[in-house]
A and B are shown apart, each in its own frame.
Chain A
Amino acid sequence: QSALTQPASVSGSPGQSITISCTGTSSDVGGYNYVSWYQQHPGKAPKLMIYDVSSRPLGVSNRFSGSKSGNTASLTISGLQAEDEADYYCSSYTNSRGIFGGGTKLTVL
């Protein structure tokens, strides 16, 4: 399986909304609701933000939401805040193997 495809970077101003896409195939993203999203600040470990396409773990802000259409999943962050500036990775799981996207750097202008 190849890595999932994400844009290298996105940016937005405080208060705005941004969306990060994650494109796979019918064998991974499109075939199962196993899409999850992780936030990673510099020098820190990844943190689970969304699982099962659109579910939020306890403690994660409701400004973070997820969706999926066909082979593409999306992470939307509304009401951008400075603390949201980080790298974001999507992930899926198929054929007894984990797959990650290449990562998207979010810059809050």
Chain B
Amino acid sequence: QVQLQESGPGLVKPSGTLSLTCAVSGASISSDNWWTWVRQSPGKGLDWIGEISHSGSANYTPSLKSRVTMSVDKPRNQFSLKLSSVTAADTAFYYCATLYCSSTSCYYPGWGQGILVTVSS
């Protein structure tokens, strides 16, 4: 069963860049799954940020598209999220997840434990 683990700074200064990494175990990042980032502001619901395939093809939510970059590191079996020009509104728990998608099925079978990132000076 795939396991995911987020890592990165828990505190980022306003206008800075949030950088997180998700280590994948139990599956190859070169599989057909898509690798996803979801965030959750404290006390709020889940917000889809975007996804990336092993080939580097990425889809981002329109509201963050100008500030988001995702990448894949095949040798290390991990993928990453960068979010630039952050503000307090970007303070949230950030989860990485794997998306299994076929012609008849799409769902997120695996999630990381989440990491709280606070934007503050």
Contact = CB atoms under 8 A, between A and B. Distances in A.
Interface residues of A, number: 26
Interface string A75-109: 00000000000000101110011111111000000
A52 B104 contact: yes
A36 B48 contact: no
Given A36-B107, A57-B109, A97-B59, A45 B101 contact: no
Contact of A100 (B46, B112, B113): B46
B99 A98 contact: yes
Contacts of B36: 98
A46 B71 CA distance: 23
A101 B46 CA distance: 8
A109 B10 CA distance: 36
A45 B61 CA distance: 21
A51 B105 contact: yes
A23 to B, nearest CB: 15
Interface residues of B, number: 23
B48 A100 contact: yes
Central interface residue in A3, A32, A98, by most chain B CB within 10 Å: A98
Contacts of B59: 96-97
Interface in B75-121: 95, 97, 99, 101, 104-109, 111-114
Interface of A: 3, 32-34, 36, 38, 44-48, 51-52, 57, 89, 91-93, 96-103
Interface of B: 36, 38, 45-48, 51, 59, 61, 95, 97, 99, 101, 104-109, 111-114
